[in-house]
Structure 1
Amino acid sequence: MTDIEPGRDALLRLIGQHDGGVLVTLRRDGRPQLSNVNHAYYPDEGVIRVSVTEDRAKTRNLRRDPRASYHVTSDDRWAWTAADVTAELTPSAAGTHDAVVEQLITLYRDVQGEHPDWDDYRRAMVRDRRVVLTLRIDHVYGRPRA
């Protein structure tokens, strides 16, 4: 049974209680492409943020078509939330102190806490051509915990 937007707060709470989910993007032929990713949820903004690299399929797919879905489950997989989202992508990190790297640092802290070597992290973000993916939540559905 699927509950369509009843208990919206409970559905969104599940996203905030976990730091991982499945991002579903659309390939050029219309088929879904799924990726397991880590995320941070920002309830005041109604968005989910993810660090991705410029050269990945999910990034290319989202630059072409920003429509996506995001799926999170409880540890026992009984409760779940699916969110229809619209993606926004920053440019790739270009310099160790640019705005994108600063956003990536905030995102890292929100998901993992402190990094042991922020200078090394900054260099890696530029080398890996990291991007901040923001998923604006348009609609949620699922099965909140009873």
Structure 2
Amino acid sequence: MTSTEYDPRELLAQTGIGVLATIRSSGLPQLSPVTHHYDRATDSIYVSMTDGRAKTRNLRRDPRAALEVTGPDGYTWATAEGEVSLIGPGTDPYGPEVEALVDYYRKAAGEHPDWDEYRSVMVSDRRVLMVMRVTHVYGAKLR
């Protein structure tokens, strides 16, 4: 790739909000706006979600997903596809499921002002960490 070619992974890394597509039992897509973190080193996308919601139920049934992000100009976009694993929900604020969510938060947003509160909310909200191993990325810079 030359320096003038578009790298859609760069947009995944720069953009923290996207649209996650999962597959409903009917086969139709279910779309959800999400906050994500893309880790270039592992080529993985992380999303915190609540257990029991449509996207979580869909991913437990069919672990395939896609995430689409759009650049601020509206003419640059990237889509990542891959297989998903779900971690959690946890029942122990200091258990491995919540530790995974703490690690996600640190990578995506930095330090939390009150980690005890964060841990408690992750348990009470039945939060789950989605990890998508990216298998295919495509996109374009139209202008």
Alignment coverage as a number of residue pairs = 140
**Are residue 16 (structure 1) and residue 27 (structure 2) matched?**
no
Asked if 1:27 is matched to 2:24, the reply is: yes
| Alpha-carbon offset, residue 100 of structure 1 | 1.2
What is the 5 A alignment of 1:1-146? 10-144=7-141
Whole-Å separation in 1 of the counterparts to 2:137 and 2:27 = 21
Secondary structure of the residue aligned to 2:9 is helix
Deviation, 1:13, is: 0.8
In 1, Cα distance between equivalents of 2:38 and 2:81: 14
TM-score normalised by length of structure 1: 0.90
In structure 1, runs of 5+ residues without a counterpart are 1-6
Shift >3 Å, 4+ stretches: none
Matching residue's letter, 1:140: V
CA contact (8 A) 1:51 1:131 kept: yes
Q: CA RMSD in A?
A: 1.7
Which of structures 1 and 2 has the larger relative contact order (alpha carbons within 8 angstroms, sep 6+)?
A: 1
- Give the letter for the 2:9 counterpart: L
Query: 5+ unaligned residues in a row in structure 2: which ranges?
Result: none
